[in-house]
Structure 1
Amino acid sequence: MYSFLHQKFITNLKKSLTKITGASILLAISGGQDSLCILKLFLDLYNQYKFQLGVINIDHSWRYDSTKNTYHIINILSNSKIPVYIYKISCTDISELKSRILRYQILLKTASTYNYTIIVTAHSLSDQVETCLYNLLKGTSNDGLNSLRWKRQLNSKIQVLRPILNFTRYEIAWFCKFFSLPYWSDISNYNYETQRNRIRQELIPYLQLYFNSKIETNLCRFLDNNHKDCEYLKQNTIKIYQKIKHRELIAINYKQLIQQHSAIQHRVLYFFFLYNLNDTVSSYTLKTILNHLKKKSSVNLKYKRLKIRNSNEWLYISKI
């Protein structure tokens, strides 16, 4: 039996993918409500769209019941013919950021090894709002607010897709209850020492109660508009970089750079380092360089094993 979320899910897939039938999908699940919701949606549509579907679970060993959680997922899929890939990370003292990087490395390697072209995650509208508020409180840029998008290209062959990004937590909870899905309750979600949990359990309900009951929907609308603005700035950044870059050397014409708006200056300089060094330079370093250039003073900085300097009208990067 199909529900209104099945139709919503199909609509999302058609908007995000050029071809649904036969799509090669690696579905990353944890066993929680969001994961079992998206798993059932794919299984219900499995025969209709003939997905090449695989399921992956990564156990970070952060919870005492994480191994039981993994066995729970295996039991759910035991009667299906879908391949399941299980990984266990034994190192538990790494940060959340390093853990996320490691998780995506595992996802990418598995997808590449077994020829999946799409990695699907079960991020929902609530996750998008939580991430927005979390990054906002850290003082992120406009680009950082949109870290959860519908899809993102990881390399030339593999992309990440989030097809339930417009599902609310209430819709997912209803779906799991209606279809009696045996989701695993993650007790770590109630650990208020974690900032993200405080945002989820305290800040968002407070904003909904005292400011706007539709705060999640409104924030997502804001994120969509912000994403369009950021994409416009990115396109202009690349155009200007192509115009002011040196034809042979790793250099840009800084006199033309400082004639641009300050927002574009920062973005072009950031892209300059990212494109040539495959490295993200800190905002402090970028501001220092731009301040020197605007004051028409010499730039002579050391960055790792590189030297950043200006001469005539060019800003150069060279080895020390």
Structure 2
Amino acid sequence: MSQAWGDVHARIHTNLRQRLLLPNTARILIAVSGGQDSACLLKLLVDLQPHWAWRLEVIHCNHRWRDDANDNAEFVQALSHRFDLPCHVRVTEQPLTSENQARAWRYAIFGELARELGCAYVVTGHTATDQAETLLLHLFRGTGLGGLGGMAWSRSLGGAYPDIQLVRPLLDLTRPETAQFCQERGLDIWLDSTNANLDLRRNRLRLEIMPQLRQYFNPQADRVLAQTATLCQAEQDYLDQETQKHYATVVNEEIPGLAVNPLQTLHPALQRCLIRRFLQEIFEITPQFAHVEGVLNLIFAPKNSQSSPLPKGIVAWVDPPWIKFPDLG
């Protein structure tokens, strides 16, 4: 077994300091499934705790999806107790029928328990590999810079818990690195049988596609894709700032409509951002590429030109100096 402090510790310690992710003396709730990533996260935070004076607690969520779910929870409790940390287990009362539903339930539990315990931070074991997989899944589905930006290092938990930060300290580590860390530190990990289910797209990507990308294209595919996500996120942040700057000049919520003259002076990337935000905020729809392009094509179109139907049957038309939309009241 290697020494207590190694290269991985140094990298995480540096990221925490440079990115201001988890301040000194913070009370932190660690989400632990028992798999290699969360076990790695738990051990790293325990090892770093003396340098930061954190107060650490563990949360494990039991989705009741597997026959061994209770054994899994007991495993996490034992792992937590090994490090003298309190462990809180929460079991769903209602059947969870999808990954999205399970994620929403988990995050609600995180917020509820964090507030109850006085924890301002919830940390999860998402890695650079998760970031790479998320980028590819969004790319295959179809997305813009926002989707390619993937997961943020830190963000508000949102919903009823805007004051609680969700932090992902391992976004600089790949899954092969977390596996090696666990092996070197003698950490037992829980093998979740659902992770082998190839009917789930992320599992197929992780088990079949990512290994081929590493073997035939780039051994550092995880890290390169994760770095691309970071660049995309930064550029999307800049576009969001520019969108906010121009929104009041371009948008008239009373008409409702978009002012043609100021739109014509802007870069197409910013035009698209303004159109997308307008459709989201005024009509509460999530526009697809074709919907945004349909409105974009009206910016230099003659009077009475119309878009193809948008969601909710909305049709935009040119009535200079506006691109107008129906008032749905």
Shorter chain as denominator, the TM-score bin is: 0.7 to 0.9
Q: Flag the 1:88–1:317 CA change in 2: closer, same or farther, 3 A.
A: farther
Mapped contact 1:307–1:319 kept (Cα < 8 A): no
- Unmatched 5+ residue regions in structure 1? none
Using the size of structure 2 for normalisation, the TM-score is 0.84
Which residue number in structure 2 is paired with residue 235 of structure 1?
241
Matched, 1:114 2:121: no
Alignment pair present for 1:218 and 2:221: no
Range with bigger deviation, 208-217 or 65-74 = 208-217
Is structure 2 residue 26 aligned with structure 1 residue 23? yes
Cα distance in 2 between the residues matched to 1:57 and 1:26? 10
Once residues 200 and 157 of structure 2 are traced to their aligned partners in structure 1, the CA distance between those partners, rounded to angstroms, is 28
Residue aligning to 1:185:
191
Instruction: Give the direction of change, closer, same or farther, for the CA distance of 1:233–1:31 in structure 2 (3 Å limit).
Output: same
Greater alpha carbon shift after TM alignment, 289-298 vs 30-39: 289-298
Match of 2:131 among 120, 128, 145: 128
Counting only pairs closer than 5 Å after superposition, residues 62-81 of structure 1 correspond to structure 2 as 62-78=65-81
| Matched position secondary structure for 1:204 | helix
What's the TM-score, normalizing by structure 1?
A: 0.86
- 1:42-64 C-alpha deviation (Å, 9 max, x unpaired): 12223332213222122222222
User: Which residues of 2 match residues 241-252 of structure 1 at below 5 A?
Assistant: 241-246=247-252, 252=258
What amino acid sits opposite 1:50 in the alignment? A
Instruction: For residue 253 of structure 1, report the CA deviation from its aligned partner.
Output: 2.4
Quote the Cα distance in structure 2 between the aligned partners of 1:157 and 1:305. 38
Task: Kindly report the root-mean-square deviation, in angstroms, between the aligned alpha carbons of the 2 structures.
Answer: 3.0
Distance in 2 (alpha carbons) for counterparts of 1:45 and 1:21: 11
- Paired with 2:21 and 2:138, the residues of 1 have a C-alpha distance of 31
SS of 2:28 mapped into structure 1: strand
Instruction: Find the counterpart in structure 2 of residue 174 from structure 1.
Output: 180
The one-character-per-residue Cα deviations of 1:101-158 (angstroms, maximum 9, x if unpaired) are 3322332333334332222110111111111122212122221112222122345522
Shift of 1:319: 4.4
Q: Distance in 1 between matches of 2:197 and 2:169?
A: 28
The one-letter code matched in structure 2 to 1:253 is A
Question: Take 1:317 and 1:117, find their aligned partners in 2: how far apart are those partners?
Answer: 44
> Which range moves more in the overlay, 196-205 or 280-289?
280-289
What corresponds to 1:161 in structure 2?
Answer: 167
Bigger mean CA offset, 99-108 vs 118-127: 99-108
What SS is found at the alignment partner of 1:228? helix
Deviates more, 1:78-87 or 1:62-71: 78-87
Distance change >3 Å, CA 55–CA 309, structure 1 → 2: farther
Instruction: Give the percent of matched residue pairs that are identical in Structure 1 and Structure 2.
Output: 31
Counterpart AA for 1:10: H
- How many residue pairs get aligned? The number is 320
Q: Output the CA distance in 1 between the equivalents of 2:190 and 2:265.
A: 56
Q: Which runs of no fewer than 5 residues in structure 2 stay unpaired?
A: none
Partner SS for 1:77: helix
What is the CA–CA distance in structure 1 between the aligned matches of 2:108 and 2:285, rounded to whole Å?
18
Residue number among 99, 107, 111 corresponding to 1:104 in the alignment: 107
